[in-house]
A and B are shown apart, each in its own frame.
Chain A
Amino acid sequence: MMQYDHILIRYGEMALKGKNRKNFIMQLQHNLQQQLKDFPETKVKRTQGRMFVLLNGHNPERVMEKCKDVFGIQSLSLAIKVQNDETEIKDAALWALENSTDVRTFKISVKRIDKKFPIRSQDMNQVLGRHLLTNTTGYTVDVHRPDLELKVEIRNEATYITSSVIPGPGGLPVGTSGKTLLLLSGGIDSPVAGFLAMKRGVEIEAIHFHSPPFTSGRAKQKVLDLAEKLTHYGHKINVHVVPFTKLQQHIFREMPENYAMTIMRRMMLRISEQVCKKESILSITTGESLGQVASQTMESMNVINEVTDYPVLRPLVAMDKDDIIKISKDIETYDISIRPYEDCCTIFVPKSPKTRPARDKVNQFESQTDFSGLIEEAVGGIDVITLTGESDAEREFEDLL
């Protein structure tokens, strides 16, 4: 029985990356292998300018689904490999047409690289077109806007027949652009920020500020579930859970109420920077966008950013809320984000936070108390949870099922 035996993977932008090209390709291959570990028989092969996933009996559509989320891939196609033999090529093309869904019109594009093959590209287009039309009913040829373009590449080693081109996610392979520390709160924005960073090839670790008993175990679980979703695009994510209760209480007790939120954010950045230093992470990523809430004004950003000289990436800075929500739905973090648990940013909300804080004022307030002991305690108490895309409960489920 005939079936698609491999997936052809094309990478776009990556091919342009000069000297790093080799690293990019190796990383993509590695990431694909990681994503396909549930399909033990698959093999990922590199050849000139493209990659193949050999299916070795695994379900083509299911493997395809997995590949579709790997950054660095421009497009994918299911493909059949046959001998350079007219009859075999005809059979395979017919099979590919008959096994496509929602197709009424098609087009054939033959590319003959193997000049020993006796039929020339143009003639082969005709031969195959005729073969498909006489052996099927209800299909017509449309060379301009076909539902399906069957590409037939007659190469020296074999002929590859590929069906429709499915767009990949684009971007760069995760792991090719260094590592960032993502501030993950549990809201809608921060996971999207993480996703967009990953799309540019950045590997992420996450940091979460946990204030029990004001924030519940569920709020923490929510953050872990969000990070879990993001592992889908990379492989492993470390979540640094910071015990924040004491420090947070201290801020809200000692600092002027309308500056407490700004100072809290500065503390978060200070702690984040220390984690970066310890883990050799070179930047911090947040889900901030301009003008969304009081703390996200230009003034606020200026004051908060003062405490670190590490670059703070803000992938969402120019995005509208609707667009952010759309992405969060696409990457399936939205439903988790809207779970109604308090997080550290929502509990001690002051009645009137300062929307236009100033650096000198904040520094003056902060100098009145010594926070270093509390910061040190918080950093010392960090609990690192590693997510691998498969939760403990799920492992337990797998055992049962």
Chain B
Amino acid sequence: MIYLDNSATTKPDPLVLESFQKASERFFANPSSIHQFGGESEKLLQKAKEQAAELLHVQPEEIVFTSGGTEGNNLAIKGVALEHQGRGKHIITTTVEHSSVDEAFKGLEQLGFDVTYIPVDNNGVVSVRDISDAIRDDTILISVMHVNNELGSVQPVEAIGKIAKQHPKLLFHVDHVQGMGKVPLSLADSGIDLCTISGHKIHGLKGTGILYVKKETALFPLFHGGNQEQGMRSGTENLAGSVSLVKALRLVKERQSTGIKHMRELQQVLRKRLSKLDGVTINTPENAAPHIMNISVPGLKPEVIIHTLGDQGIYISTKSACSSKQKDESKILTACGHDKDRSASALRISLSYDTTEDEIDTFLNALSEAINQLKAILE
């Protein structure tokens, strides 16, 4: 099997699985129970937070364990909007966000919030100037993703952070789900108040994630209850999940610098050879994240290519998995100003640290053959 859909999800690292299983077996007590066994679980949870904080260079109390990217994004966005609506009801985001951000904003619009959607350029990148210009007196939130999940475009979140810092009344959220382990981002002192991380995109398990919540940032919780996770996310902690997530985070951080370089090299190979393929247009800009390569094959239905490759055990995807079941046209590519032919025929190849050059070579040959065959049939 050649798995090139790592932006949808990644294969759990065996060490992560082992950590999950051991933690589940050994520390199954509820961290809130006052007996000693519960105390051990609580200690482990605290230790997990400390290690996560250390890896992210933030404080342990700024770590909130969540069930993943969608929850993190929802908690950050709705949490800020509902908590701070007294200060203003204007919120800002971009036109290329993941559906868990986009739909959260749409939901808030229904509740009477005023949303500004900042457009992107041909490369899928927002302008810092546009964001800055959109800020009003009643703006309470800006939410911008770090790395786009379909294109790999990198948003200037550091620069936006600097602007956000100058407006103490608003909070800045970054969806870092696709960026973690691929494009380094420093949180402390960045102007970023909230940052979403997902476990299963970094060889962790589904149902695990972290929302970084900068100290003294108040959020209206999505879940009310026993006040776990500093009161921001009630519900008995998923201790084994959180522990395994921290393990995944550590493994990724250890491999990050060589991993990024490796994926960057493979991406260059892809770019070089794909650009020579007839009928293929490259959508991912040059300075994108290293793990995503998005292309269009106008005239061919992406689904057909996916199935042709799938028959050979090669797995790539159309647009983001979270919206693949909806109509073919990519909202992101449309937002970049591409025509319908191009935005309805997009394919995404996404890499991991473990992807090999041989796999890329096999994939490229199979793709080229598939395109030729399908074109021959259609003509």
Contacts and interface: CB of A to CB of B under 8 A. Distances in A.
Nearest to A397: B47
B247 A400 contact: yes
Interface string A359-401: 0000000000000000000000000000000000110110111
B36 interface: yes
B252 interface: no
A401 B51 contact: yes
A400 B40 contact: no
A218 interface: yes
A183 to B, nearest CB: 25
Contacts of A397: 43-44, 47-48
Given A394-B47, A396-B26, A401 B40 contact: no
Interface centre among B19, B47, B244 (most CB of A within 10 A): B47
Contacts of A62: 54
B250 A401 contact: yes
Nearest to A398: B47
B131 to A, nearest CB: 24
A401 B43 CA distance: 13
A188 to B, nearest CB: 21
B23 interface: yes
B243 interface: yes
A62 B47 CA distance: 17
B64 interface: no
Interface in B230-261: 243-244, 246-247, 250
Nearest to B52: A401
Contacts of A221: 36
Contacts of A396: 26
Nearest to B244: A400
Interface in A203-224: 217-218, 221
Interface residues of B, number: 17
B169 interface: no
A401 B242 CA distance: 9
B247 A401 contact: yes
B262 to A, nearest CB: 21
Contacts of B19: 399-401
Given A218-B36, A393-B43, A394-B47, A401 B26 contact: no
A393 B47 CA distance: 11
Given A400-B22, A401-B19, A393 B40 contact: yes
Contacts of A394: 47
Contacts of B36: 217-218, 221
Nearest to B43: A393
A234 to B, nearest CB: 23
Give the interface SS of chain A, mostly helix, strand, loop or mixed: helix
Contacts of A400: 19, 22-23, 44, 243-244, 247
B18 to A, nearest CB: 9
A296 B361 CA distance: 82
B379 to A, nearest CB: 55
A372 B44 CA distance: 45
Nearest to B51: A401
A80 B36 CA distance: 47
A400 B47 CA distance: 10
B348 to A, nearest CB: 32
Interface string B19-59: 10011001000000000100010011001100100100000
A393 B29 CA distance: 15
Contacts of A218: 36
A62 B54 CA distance: 10
Contacts of A393: 40, 43-44
A221 B37 CA distance: 13
A30 to B, nearest CB: 26
A62 B36 CA distance: 31
A394 B43 CA distance: 9
A21 B82 CA distance: 64
Contacts of B243: 400-401
Contacts of A399: 19, 22
A400 B52 CA distance: 13
A201 to B, nearest CB: 31
B351 to A, nearest CB: 27
Interface centre among A221, A396, A400 (most CB of B within 10 A): A400
A89 B250 CA distance: 36
A393 B26 CA distance: 11
B35 to A, nearest CB: 10
A396 B44 CA distance: 9
Nearest to B35: A218
A49 to B, nearest CB: 34
A217 B36 CA distance: 10
A400 B246 CA distance: 9
A399 to B, nearest CB: 8
Nearest to B44: A397
A335 to B, nearest CB: 13
Nearest to A221: B36
Contacts of B246: 401
Contacts of B23: 400
A349 B48 CA distance: 42
B56 to A, nearest CB: 13
B40 to A, nearest CB: 6
B267 to A, nearest CB: 24
Nearest to B47: A397
Contacts of B244: 400
Interface string A23-55: 000000000000000000000000000000000
A148 to B, nearest CB: 18
Contacts of B40: 393
A397 B242 CA distance: 12
A302 B54 CA distance: 51
B92 to A, nearest CB: 29
A153 B246 CA distance: 43
B369 to A, nearest CB: 46
Interface in B97-115: none
A62 B246 CA distance: 19
B63 to A, nearest CB: 13
A399 B26 CA distance: 12
Nearest to B20: A400
Interface in B202-250: 243-244, 246-247, 250
A99 to B, nearest CB: 11
Contacts of B26: 396
A394 B47 CA distance: 8
Return the 4 tightest CB-CB contacts between A and B, nearest first: A397-B47, A400-B19, A401-B51, A401-B246
10 contacts: A62-B54, A217-B36, A218-B36, A221-B36, A393-B40, A393-B43, A393-B44, A394-B47, A399-B19, A400-B244
Given A397-B48, A400-B23, 18 more contacts: A62-B54, A218-B36, A221-B36, A393-B43, A393-B44, A394-B47, A397-B43, A397-B44, A397-B47, A399-B19, A400-B44, A400-B243, A400-B244, A400-B247, A401-B47, A401-B48, A401-B51, A401-B250
